[in-house]
Amino acid sequence: MITRYVLPVLSGAGLLFAILFTVRASQPSPVASPVADPARAPFEHVVAGSGLVEAASENVALGAPLSGLVKAVHVTVGDLVSQGQVLFELDDRALRAELGTRSAALAAARAELQRLQSLPRPEDVPPLQARLAEAEAGLADARAALAVSTSLQDPRALSQDERDRRRFAVTSAEARVAQAAADLALLRAGAWAPDLAVAQAAVDSAQAQVHATEVELDRLAVRAPQDGRVLQVKVRAGEYAPAGALAAPLMLFGSNEPLHVRVDIDENDAWRVHAGAPATASARGNANHSTPLEFVRFEPYVVPKRSLTGESTERVDTRVLQVVYRIVRADLPLYVGQQMDVFIEAEPLAAVGAAGAAEATGETDPPDAAGDGGGAAHEPAPADGGR
């Protein structure tokens, strides 16, 4: 008896539950409100693009000119630096030792040049003068002996060999006098000009080597290329810094006063953008943080799009025209690398399409005052010439 009534009741309850569940499931789920209101275009006809905030000097990826260990890092992220300020240094011990060696070679070359330029030394002249006087005295003695041999009345008093010996002695004494005089003249003349030139060339070469080493030492200190701010630091003291272009730069630097925004304009809309057209930009997540933009320049080379925003309309094979604008408001909390929504005033597509159609049909004249659309002006002539 109980089973007779319980089963219909349970069946009815199950049916009612199924109906309620189906009705509730078929109702649309409520749309979640956005976290922040999206940015709205301030113009009637716009070209929208995604922009990245960058430094006015563009983001400069700093690297090391030479490979080596990092000796010291003198800045931290966010520091304002001036042009020429040292950012980080590499190990310079080997080059400093080489500089000491080349500096010693330069000192030796300069000493040799100074020695040649100071010739003759005062203490070198008296010995040569004494040698010349000695040679002249020997010559006088030889001449006197020869005069005695020629003045003898009796030729038998002196043999012919002795007379020849005294004559040759005079010749030898004259040669010694000439040699002593030449040595004294050479000493008084000082250093030979070619010797001075060779010594000067040696000094110049040593100086160039010292300067080359000093330049290499200076290259080990990476300096700020201009006034700006340190945006990223990816190097620490004791790490090895490789030379050349790196996927992750050792340090990122830029001048952030004022900030620029680089806008990617789809190539399909590139023809609608003109230099100097009004433009505004809004920060992602807060449309109230908006600023007018000042046109800076076009990047005339259309490049593949690399900054993807995740929208379903984007394609990886899209090419974009990059336009650089200056951010006018300096009070906005913007950071380099931040994305912004950019709206640029452009020509309406309908007007451009109408102009293209008119150009294709040849109807380029405006309607006349009578309102006939210029039909009389464009009425074709009869094919028979009006006969």
The 10s digit of each residue's pLDDT in 246-283 is: 888 999 998 878 899 999 988 888 888 888 889 999 98
| 47-74 pLDDT tens trace | 888 899 998 888 899 989 989 999 999 9
By percentage, how much of the chain surpasses pLDDT 70?
Answer: 82
Q: Compare 13 and 324 and report the one with higher pLDDT.
A: 324
**Which pLDDT does position 348 carry in this prediction?**
77
| Over residues 159-180, mean pLDDT | 87
pLDDT in the model for residue 313: 62
Mean pLDDT to the nearest integer, 294-323: 79
Out of 34-43, 74-83, 153-162, 339-348, which region has the weakest mean confidence (pLDDT)? 34-43
- Compute CA distances 268 → 47, 259, 349, 358, whole Å: 10, 27, 12, 22
The pLDDT, as a whole number, for residue 372 is: 42
**Number of neighbours of residue 328 by Cβ within 10 angstroms:** 14
More confident residue, 378 or 14: 14
DSSP 19-35: HHHHHHHHSPPPPPPPS
Average pLDDT on 112-123 reads 88
- Whether the per-residue pLDDT at 387 is higher than 60: the answer is no
pLDDT-based confidence at residue 218 (cuts at 50, 70, 90): very high
Q: What is the mean pLDDT of residues 187-203?
A: 89
327: nearest Cα among 46, 51, 29: 51
Residue 316 has pLDDT above 70, yes or no: no
Min mean pLDDT across 195-209, 256-270, 304-318 is at 304-318
With a cut of 80, say whether residue 42 has pLDDT above it. Answer: no
Asked whether residue 222 carries a pLDDT value surpassing 70, the answer given is: yes
pLDDT band at 378 (very low <50, low <70, confident <90, very high): very low
Q: How confident is the model at residue 239 (pLDDT cuts 50, 70, 90)?
A: very high
Instruction: Give the pLDDT score at 367.
Output: 44
Q: Looking at the predicted structure, is the pLDDT value of residue 381 above 90?
A: no
Find which of 11-20, 27-36, 153-162, 252-261 is predicted with most confidence, using mean pLDDT.
252-261
Task: Please name every residue paired with 266 in a beta bridge, in sequence order, or none if there are none.
Answer: 320
Between residues 384 and 258, the one the model is more confident about: 258
Residue 185 to residue 5: CA distance in whole angstroms = 151
Bridge partners of 240, per DSSP, are: 69
Cα 233 to Cα 75: distance, rounded to the nearest angstrom: 8
